[in-house]
Amino acid sequence: MLTVRKSEERGHANHGWLDSRHSFSFADYYDPRFMGWGNLRVINEDRIRPGTGFGRHGHRDMEIISYVKRGALSHRDSMGNEHIIVPGDVQRMSAGTGVQHSEFDHSTEEGTHFFQIWITPAQKGIAPGYEQKRFTDAEKQGRLRLIASPDGAQQSLTLHADARLFAGLLQPGQATALDLAPGRKAYVHVVEGRVTACGQPLAEGDAAMLQAEARIALQADTNAEVLVFDLAG
């Protein structure tokens, strides 16, 4: 079964310095139909105005992934990490027993467009952790490149959660697929462009939620970028 979640149906918050689209209930946006999918809890598409950002704040017991589309994101946390995240870089922060961090647009000219992703961990109370890796466009071109997994397979980020995240770049007419084990859920988010997922057309910002499916089949209708999640049911 496949359910399409249209871009315009997402929650929306515009704070001036931040324009955010919420795929699932978050902050002041609440919809009991969309509280997450499997162990995927949050996908926020955030656009931060130049020179602004999120001040120091805390998290606990969550695997948090930052995927930058445009610009540069400056990260600083209570573990002593200070990093700049640019397109191609992917960050994983395990909040565990508790971590404080801040995120700001590193550029004063273009702002930052990024995706903030939260996945429920397999175990609470772990030690906080941080990891950042680069995945080039060439690695993602014409395929789904594994970028996060429970075992760090294929030099992906290591998640403390039963979930796998793939990123792909597709040219018009290119197709790719992902097989799913029984009992798994999947989530496809179109970062850019238009694709057809299991026969359903999806535009930029749209998503497909899948369950009881053995395979995700994707074909690009335009140049496209996608994020695909293989999730615990």
Query: Where residue 19 falls among pLDDT bands split at 50, 70, 90?
Result: very high
> Which stretch of DSSP H or E encloses residue 4?
strand 2-5
| pLDDT value of residue 113 | 96
| pLDDT value of residue 206 | 98
- Where are the extended beta strands (E) located within 80-206? 82-85, 89-94, 99-105, 112-119, 129-134, 144-149, 157-158, 163-170, 175-179, 185-192, 195-197, 200-202
| pLDDT value of residue 107 | 77
What does DSSP say about strands 99-105 and 89-94: parallel, antiparallel, or unpaired? unpaired
Q: Which domain covers residue 94, as residue numbers?
A: 2-231
80-133 pLDDT per residue, tens: 888 999 999 999 999 999 999 889 898 767 899 999 999 999 999 999 999 999
195-210 pLDDT per residue, tens: 999 999 999 999 999 9
Q: 211 pLDDT exceeds 80?
A: yes
| pLDDT value of residue 38 | 97
- Closest by alpha carbon to 148, among 217, 84, 77, 66? 66
Query: What is the CATH classification number for the domain harbouring 77?
Result: 2.60.120.10
Sign of the torsion angle spanned by Cα atoms 125, 126, 132, 134: negative
42-88 pLDDT per residue, tens: 999 999 999 898 888 889 999 999 999 999 999 998 998 889 999 99
* Token pair of 81 as six digits: 């990490």
What's the number of domains the chain is made of? Answer: 1
Q: Please list the alpha-helical segments (H only) found in 65-201.
A: 137-140
| pLDDT value of residue 55 | 85
